[in-house]
Structure formats: structure tokens, C-alpha cells
Amino acid sequence: MNALRIATPIGILLLIWGAISCFGPWYTSPVTLKTNSVIKLVCLIIAAAFGFVAHRAYGKTDLQRRSWLIWSLGLTMYALGQSVLAYYQILRNVPIVYPSAADFFFFAFYLFCLPAAVMFCVRAFRSGLPLGRGWKFWWPAVVVLAAFLLSVSSTLVPMFEASTPWLETFFNATYTIGGFSLLAPCVVMIRVGLKFRGGSVLKVWLPISLGFTCVLLSDILFFYLTQYKLGWAERCVDFLYIAGYIAVARGSLFQLQVMK
């Protein structure tokens, strides 16, 4: 498909645009704000849409079919959350209040995508392929969760100590915990892909994992931005979201490419 062939150069161009717009002198321009909002929303819609395509391509009894359905529903929640932000940024042209209705959709995203990512891992674990058993299979997830525990003093503790409303504290903590938790099974799938270099698994899960790493970093940085009024962080947050959504969309497109 032509769309698949041009996906990589388009993604690179969008990344370049994101870097220029976020770190250049046009960052505060209304055109820049609206363009970046559209890019984020379109990338999430693409990721969800092609996830549903992957779901339909599997047999009705295949665990992958169920996993892709739940995964795509989660990405749909994320796209709905971003559409709320886009409404304020594009149509109303007003600052976004945090927390907002969008955050309830972002929270629902983790409720869908986290179990779906675990289901992907479980299917690989039970596939009978030489991927190792027990610790040998799950160790990447343990490493990520250990990194989370080591980062608690600089992430969760400041969030709970901050004098913010309880709902804002809840979402700040949820995004950090959910981000690390989702990244854990994603890196397990990267290891599965590395065991079969040149295969499709790595092409799908490497960009997805990189994307969610960017989202996690941007969520953590967003807390420091709002709590400590770090002006420079706002540009980084926006760029990390753009880069993350582009990477997740690219992973979904790779899945479609594999199934073609």
C-alpha cells in the first residue's frame, strides 16, 4: 500500500516539524498550537484505527484478536481525550484547565491498554517458542518496575506532597504509575522481537514502546511544569507527546504491513 510506503518519511517530517515548532520562535503562535494539536489527534486516530484492522484480521478464537480489540479500545479512549483538548485548542482557542474531561479518557486508556499488553505477552509466553520460562521471559518487565521503584522519591513523593487538589494529585500519580506499568509488558515484547531479529514483532513493539516512553516522560515532566512553573519544560512536554504519538501510530502501521 502506498500509505505504508510513505509512512516513515511522513513520520520523520512530522518529527522535524515538532522539533522546529516546539523549540523555535513560533512556539506560542496560534497556528503552531493548532497544527500540533491536529497532529497529535490524527496520530492517535490512526493508531486506534489500524489496531481495529489488526483485530478483524485474526481468527475469532485467536487470543491476538481479543488483545488487539482491547488495545484499540484503549487507544480510542486516548484519542477521545486528545479530541477534548483539541476542541479547546482549535475551536475555542482557550487555555486548557487541568484536570479536564480529557483526563477521564486518558485514565480509561490505561484500563484497556495495560491488560491488552499483558495479554500480548502471555500469548508469546505460551506460544512454545524458545523465549525462556519464568524470569528469563519476564525480566525486562521487572527491570522497568525496579526503575519505577527507584524513581518514586523523585516522581510520586513530590506529587503527594504538593499542595494540589486531590483530583489533580490522583491523575498525576495515575499517569506515572500507569506509564511505568504499561511500559513493562511493552519492553517484554521488544525482547521477544529481539529473539527473532528481522521479524515483525520488533518492528511493531519497538516504536510502540518508544512512543509510550515519550508519553511517560512527558507526563512526569508535566507535573513539574505545573507545580514549579518551569517555562522551558512546556516545550519539551509538547514535543515528547508529538514524538510519542507518532511512534505509536507507526507501530500500528507496521502491524498492518505485517498482516498484508
In this prediction, residue 4 carries a pLDDT of: 65
Give the relative orientation of helices 30-57 and 63-86 as an angle to the nearest 10 degrees: 160
pLDDT means per 10 residues, the chain with 260 residues, are: 73 94 90 92 94 82 84 96 92 83 96 94 84 86 94 90 90 94 92 75 87 92 80 88 94 75
List the domain range (segments joined by +) for residue 16. 2-259
41: cell is 489527534
Distance between CA atoms of residues 219 and 238, nearest Å? 10
Number of separate domains in the chain? 1
Give the relative orientation of helices 135-151 and 166-195 as an angle to the nearest 10 degrees: 150
In this prediction, residue 23 carries a pLDDT of: 93
Strands (E), the chain: none
Cβ atoms of 79 and 102 closer than 8 Å: no
Distance between CA atoms of residues 198 and 202, nearest Å? 8
Report yes or no on whether pTM surpasses 0.85. yes
Distance between CA atoms of residues 156 and 160, nearest Å? 6
CATH of the domain at 192: 1.20.1070
252: cell is 500500528
Distance between CA atoms of residues 153 and 150, nearest Å? 7
In this prediction, residue 134 carries a pLDDT of: 82
Handedness of CA 8, 45, 48, 98 (dihedral sign): positive
In this prediction, residue 253 carries a pLDDT of: 84
In this prediction, residue 258 carries a pLDDT of: 66
Cβ atoms of 233 and 224 closer than 8 Å: yes
Cβ atoms of 4 and 46 closer than 8 Å: no
Cβ atoms of 27 and 237 closer than 8 Å: no
In this prediction, residue 259 carries a pLDDT of: 64
Distance between CA atoms of residues 189 and 108, nearest Å? 22
Distance between CA atoms of residues 158 and 163, nearest Å? 10
**Closest C-alpha to 237, from 109, 85, 110, 104:** 85
In this prediction, residue 74 carries a pLDDT of: 96
Distance between CA atoms of residues 43 and 40, nearest Å? 5
